[in-house]
């Protein structure tokens, strides 16, 4: 009797190394972005520059907003799309059905994300990834490779429209006699609602118990999911771009695409940074009290800039891997191989340090000191990832995720063999 090949987790020798390097540095970017939301209220962290800050705190806050915020979660999304394409290609190569496999993977991620969202931290992105992954599987699995960039740009444009469109339309409405007062009333009510949320976060997360925090996050979960869906177009767009990078060979063999990478390095990144600086000048802080053309155009420019800068960062890291900087860049690769474990660990560690049910340093770490704290934590994660992967094949959460996906226990220690979780079909 012949046995068709069994799909198993990707071994170290089969991995595309650059993906692990990119994931590793994306983890640092995500932590640099998220640390403000661990230290204080999430709703304050997502509004751009905190106007109350001065000196070094203000400089760090502005730098993170301009260079990091919104860029690295897009890079992480891009890498998720690449992983989807790699997994699908392996399934097709072995002749195994792909849909059921990927559904198990996606629903396992959804379960992990929901636990993270409710039990650990309300800034979760995994839940959104899982939901958008279902759309990716249902609608875009067989889209021709050449069509993927167009679809990706279309979904990005839709996200830009949903975010900036209401601001621009509101600004136009305010030009109508008598309409400005009504628009301002709506925005003032929204400001009051957001302020209530911020104060609730301060009370519950700053001094409440773990049970209080879980109840608070569970109550906010539907609203957080609705808010995250506004980013769904961007995430789906990045998934599709990631598929294109893998299918076209642009990520595995960049030497075949010199003009693309040159444009991303010397065109997309500088242009994106310029747009981000203009956006910062127009709207350094999201203002919930007024609707103006400056706010609308600032929002639009910042979203376009995030896409361009994300792709520029990818291109420069890719370029660095072919230079003397390669050893330094590859240091982060083990952290990238354990990206899920490290992402969740960041949330666990930071909430236990800053929340009231932990060490209670909520709103106690100055903004300027958040930067070295995040870098130090990431350095520890890199060191731990090197140590762990010298002994084990996968990170702890990666191992559990693979077990749920492939329905067998992946070998954990390097000397172990895979064990069955369920009987594999002949």
Whether residue 261 lies inside any domain: the answer is: yes
Q: What is the pLDDT of residues 219-239, one digit of tens each?
A: 988 877 777 767 889 999 999
Long-range contacts, stretch 101-108, CB < 8 angstroms, 24+ apart: 101/7, 101/405, 101/406, 102/133, 102/137, 103/137, 104/404, 104/405, 104/407, 105/401, 105/404, 105/405, 106/130, 106/133, 106/134, 106/137, 108/401, 108/404, 108/405
pLDDT band at 417 (very low <50, low <70, confident <90, very high): low
**Hey, is 194 helix, strand or coil?**
helix
pLDDT band at 407 (very low <50, low <70, confident <90, very high): confident
Owning domain of residue 48: 12-420
- Nearest-angstrom CA–CA distance, 96 and 76: 27
Q: What is the pLDDT of residues 118-158, one digit of tens each?
A: 999 999 999 999 999 999 999 998 899 999 999 999 999 99
Distances (CA, A) of 249 to 147, 178, 244: 15, 57, 8
Q: What is the pLDDT of residues 341-364, one digit of tens each?
A: 999 999 999 999 999 999 999 999
Q: Tell whether the model's pLDDT for residue 302 goes beyond 60.
A: yes
Q: Tell whether the model's pLDDT for residue 294 goes beyond 80.
A: yes
Is the CB of residue 372 less than 8 Å from the CB of residue 32? no
Domain count within the chain:
1
User: What are 377's two structure tokens?
Assistant: 């934590």
Give the residue-averaged pLDDT of 394-419.
86
Which residue blocks in 264-366 are alpha helix, DSSP H? 269-282, 293-320, 326-330, 333-337, 339-354
Whether residue 297 lies inside any domain: the answer is: yes
pLDDT band at 13 (very low <50, low <70, confident <90, very high): very low
The pLDDT value recorded for residue 175 is 80
User: What are 353's two structure tokens?
Assistant: 């340090």
The region that residue 363 occupies, defined by phi over 0 for left and psi between -120 and 50 for alpha, beta otherwise, is left
Is the CB of residue 188 less than 8 Å from the CB of residue 289? yes
Is the CB of residue 407 less than 8 Å from the CB of residue 396? no
Burial of 324 (0-12, 13-18, 19+ CB in 10 A): exposed
Q: What is the pLDDT of residues 385-396, one digit of tens each?
A: 999 999 999 999
Q: What percent of the chain has pLDDT over 70?
A: 92
Which one is predicted more confidently, 416 or 369? 369
Angle among Cα 360, 364, 368 to the nearest 5 degrees reads: 140
Whether residue 1 lies inside any domain: the answer is: no
Give the residue-averaged pLDDT of 103-113.
95
pLDDT band at 10 (very low <50, low <70, confident <90, very high): very low
Whether residue 182 lies inside any domain: the answer is: yes
Whether residue 205 lies inside any domain: the answer is: yes
- Nearest-angstrom CA–CA distance, 199 and 186: 20
**144-153, 182-191, 216-225, 322-331: the lowest-pLDDT one:** 182-191
- Nearest-angstrom CA–CA distance, 17 and 40: 36
Q: What is the pLDDT of residues 42-94, one digit of tens each?
A: 888 888 899 999 999 999 999 999 999 999 999 999 999 998 888 888 887 77
Q: Tell whether the model's pLDDT for residue 180 goes beyond 80.
A: no
Whether residue 425 lies inside any domain: the answer is: no
The pLDDT value recorded for residue 15 is 54
- Nearest-angstrom CA–CA distance, 296 and 309: 20
- Nearest-angstrom CA–CA distance, 18 and 86: 13
The pLDDT value recorded for residue 423 is 42
Whether residue 19 lies inside any domain: the answer is: yes
Whether residue 426 lies inside any domain: the answer is: no
Nearest residue to 213 (alpha-carbon basis) of 332, 347, 317: 347
Orientation of helix 126-140 relative to helix 72-94, angle to 10°: 50
The pLDDT value recorded for residue 279 is 96
pLDDT band at 185 (very low <50, low <70, confident <90, very high): confident
Give the residue-averaged pLDDT of 22-44.
95
Q: What is the pTM assigned to this prediction? A: 0.90
**92-101, 152-161, 263-272: the lowest-pLDDT one:** 92-101
Angle among Cα 70, 75, 78 to the nearest 5 degrees reads: 125
pLDDT band at 292 (very low <50, low <70, confident <90, very high): confident
**Hey, is 409 helix, strand or coil?**
strand
Q: Tell whether the model's pLDDT for residue 335 goes beyond 90.
A: yes
């Amino acid at each position: 009797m012949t046995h068709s090949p069994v799909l198993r987790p990707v071994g170290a020798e089969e991995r595309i190394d650059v993906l692990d390097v990119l994931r590793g540095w994306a983890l640092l970017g995500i932590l640099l972005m998220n640390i403000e939301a661990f230290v204080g209220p999430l709703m304050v962290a997502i509004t751009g520059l905190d106007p109350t800050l001065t000196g070094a705190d203000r400089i760090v806050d502005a730098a993170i907003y301009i260079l990091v915020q919104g860029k690295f979660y897009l890079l992480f999304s891009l890498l998720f799309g690449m992983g989807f394409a790699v997994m699908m290609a392996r399934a097709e190569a072995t002749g195994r059905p792909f849909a059921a496999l990927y559904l198990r993977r996606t629903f396992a991620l959804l379960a992990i994300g929901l636990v993270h969202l409710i039990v650990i931290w309300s800034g979760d992105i995994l839940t959104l990834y899982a939901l958008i992954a279902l759309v990716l599987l249902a609608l875009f699995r067989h889209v021709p490779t050449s069509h993927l960039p167009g679809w990706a740009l279309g979904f990005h444009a839709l996200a830009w429209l949903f975010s900036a469109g209401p601001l621009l339309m509101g600004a136009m409405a305010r030009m109508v006699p008598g309409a400005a007062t009504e628009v301002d009333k709506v925005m003032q009510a929204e400001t009051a609602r957001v302020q209530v949320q911020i104060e609730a976060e301060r009370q519950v997360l700053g001094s409440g118990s773990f049970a209080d925090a879980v109840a608070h996050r569970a109550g906010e979960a539907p609203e957080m999911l609705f808010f995250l869906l506004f980013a769904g177009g961007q995430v789906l767009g990045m998934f599709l771009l990631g598929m294109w990078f893998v299918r076209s060979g642009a990520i595995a063999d960049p030497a075949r695409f010199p003009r693309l990478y040159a444009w991303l390095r010397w065109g997309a990144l500088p242009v994106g940074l310029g747009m981000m600086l203009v956006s910062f000048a127009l709207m350094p802080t999201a203002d919930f009290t007024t609707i103006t053309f400056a706010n609308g155009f600032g929002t639009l420019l910042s979203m376009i800039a995030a896409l361009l800068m994300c792709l520029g960062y990818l291109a420069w890291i890719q370029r660095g891997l072919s230079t003397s900087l390669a050893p330094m860049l590859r240091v982060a690769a083990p952290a990238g191989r354990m990206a899920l474990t490290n992402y969740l660990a960041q949330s666990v560690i930071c909430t236990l340090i800053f929340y009231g049910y932990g060490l209670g340093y909520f709103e106690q770490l100055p903004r300027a000191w958040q930067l070295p704290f995040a870098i130090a934590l990431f350095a520890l994660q890199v060191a731990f990832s090197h140590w762990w992967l010298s002994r084990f094949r996968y990170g702890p959460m990666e191992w559990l995720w693979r077990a749920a996906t492939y329905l067998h226990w992946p070998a954990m220690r390097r000397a172990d063999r895979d064990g069955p979780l369920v009987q594999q079909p002949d």
